[in-house]
Structure 1
Amino acid sequence: MKANSSDRPVIRPLPVMDRARQVTDALADYVEEARLKAGDRLPAERELMAALGVGRSTIREAIRHFQALGVIETRKGSGTYLLKPVSRATIHMPLSLDTVHLRDVLLQTLEVRRGIECEAGMVAARRRTSTDLVVIEEKLDAMERVHLEKGTSGPEDLAFHLAVYDSTHNPLFRQLLEQMRETFERFWEHPFDRQDFARRSFPFHRTLFDAIAAGDPEAARAETLKILDIVEEDIKEMSK
């Protein structure tokens, strides 16, 4: 039986590519080709409109897209600036935290960190190189010196954990932690007005390093949990 021509699938014309998407792709290409770095200024709106042949609303829509991703910022009266390198191949996973209720945000962040850091410690124990161990121990030594001198070690503590993340050789571990960094940096400035915050968790950073150096993933996971469990207890205690 001969098929009725009316039953055949219809070949539809290709949709016109979204203009704002074209602009975001063009901007990403420009940033990459111009080798712009964080802090560099992007071309002005009028310059982009002329170069790309689009209207102001399209340019602003593309700018809002990049702002939502946290890779550019617009400074009133100054211009638009790059916060992070970007290209068409970049994957952006912006995180949003309401820091009004700091205690709650810290505990929420800690829940996420618990999963990420335990896995990072286990991966680090499996993949770390001798060079990685040297870097991690240098950060640990610096953390211990500052802690013994001042009783606290906020930035040095973060540097130690970032070194552990780097030793996984998976850049997403470090990037995810850094996207939560602002909350913790604010916190370290005034840790509930307690200079001895994280004092009880301090010794377990050395045992975490020992587990990673020994290539023992389960021990690395256990030591990471000890650190984060104590941090959670301290946050709850100090914020009563």
Structure 2
Amino acid sequence: MATMTNARAALLPLPPADRAAQVTAALADYIDRANLGAGDRLPTERELTIALGVGRSTIRESIRHFQALGVVEARKGSGTYLLRPISGATVHMPLSFETGRLRDVLLQTLEVRRGIEAEAGMVAARRRTAEDLVNIKQKLDEMERVQIAKGTSGPEDLAFHLSIYDATHNPLFKQLLEQMRGAFEHFWEKPFDRPDFARRSFPFHRTLFNAIAAGDPEAAREETLKILAIVEEDIKEMSK
């Protein structure tokens, strides 16, 4: 097994401005150059913190990224292990668009979201556990609290949808989101500088939760499509 002292695979400190994305790229490159394979243990958080010159929270965020992609596994009391070989070229494949217009990017991404999220809602309605429902409701309550207080709830809205992905018990949903995160996050970044973007979809998040809690896949699909229909309307209206 390769070690942190391997000269060809040395990890070098990152500039202060770099964050989790740079840690992810550096660690992926290290794994590739050190020829680590499935079953090999990754360096510890402490080793990575010292080698890369970043805080533990940044290291943990990067490791969570790898976990979401299904390429590493954390074993309690033992460490983090590689499930399959990876490199900087295979860890993350950001989407690219031929157009630079935000309107077109959002509409193109929405077509993908519609298929993934409608299916995720249906699967979650069939497979959700009592623990999943508690998690989804917590995220929904927080989203509603922030929405009422501030009039917008970007990160909280995203967390709500991620909790539904979790309730599918199919890791591919979150892996797909990780691959497309750059494009998807446009929806939670006040597009067109409008904090009221998609605000009208707010009540349908509660009805979506109710459908999942009731174990009704078709209702979950319908409520998801209502949310995304409003998003599409606002994209077209606000981009005029």
User: Structure 2 length as normaliser, TM-score?
Assistant: 0.66
What's the CA shift for 1:218?
Answer: 0.4
Kept after mapping to 1: 8 A contact 2:39/2:83: no
Q: How far does the alpha carbon of each residue in 1:160-193 deviate from its partner, in whole angstroms, 9 at most, with x for none?
A: 0000000000011112123322234355334212
Match of residue 141 from structure 2: 141
Structure 1's 113 and 186: CA in aligned 2 closer, same or farther, altered over 3 A?
Answer: closer
Code of the residue aligned with 1:96 in structure 2: it is L
Map 1:49-88; keep pairs closer than 5 Å. Answer: 84=66, 86=71, 87=82
Counterpart pick for 2:35 among 21, 27, 50 = 27
Note if 1:224 corresponds to 2:218. Answer: no
Cα distance change of structure 1 residues 150 and 35 upon mapping to structure 2, 3 Å threshold: same
Q: 2:174 corresponds to which residue?
A: 174
With over 3 angstroms needed to count, the CA separation of the structure-2 counterparts of 1:174 and 1:90, relative to structure 1, is farther
Offset of 1:157 from its aligned partner?
0.4
Flag the 1:90–1:122 CA change in 2: closer, same or farther, 3 A: farther
Q: Does 1:89 align with 2:84?
A: yes
Task: Report what 1:50 is aligned to.
Answer: none
**Aligned equivalents of 1:146, 1:177: Cα separation in 2:** 23
The Cα shift of 1:36 comes to 5.8
Deviation per residue, 1:41-85 (Å, 9 max, x gap): 8x9xxxxxxxxxxxxxxxxxxxxxxxxxxxxxxxxxxxxx98736
String of CA shifts for 1:204-238, please: whole Å, max 9, x gaps.
00000000000000000000000011101111111
Q: Is the 8 A contact 1:25 1:88 kept in 2?
A: no
Question: How much does 1:144 deviate?
Answer: 0.3
After TM superposition, the structure 1 stretch with the greater mean CA deviation from structure 2, 96-105 or 192-201, is 96-105
Q: Which residue of the partner structure matches residue 110 of structure 2? A: 110
1:84 partner letter: F
- Distance in 1 (CA, whole Å) between partners of 2:171 and 2:85 is 12
- Residues 97-143 of structure 1, C-alpha deviation per residue, up to 9 Å, x if partnerless? 23732221111111011111111000000000000000000000000
CA RMSD in angstroms comes to 3.1
Is the contact between residue 121 and residue 217 of structure 2 (CA under 8 Å) also seen in structure 1? yes
Distance of aligned partners of 1:236 and 1:88 in 2 relative to their CA distance in 1, 3 Å threshold: same
Q: Matches of 1:139 and 1:107 in 2, distance apart?
A: 26
Unaligned 5+ residue runs, structure 2? 1-30, 52-61, 72-81
Larger of the two Rg values belongs to structure: 1
CA contact (8 A) 1:129 1:167 kept: yes
How far, CA to CA, are the matches of 2:208 and 2:178 in structure 1?
20
Deviation, 1:146, is 0.6
**Mapped partners of 1:30, 1:207: distance in 2:** 43
SS of the residue corresponding to residue 146 of structure 2 reads: helix
TM-score (norm 1): 0.66
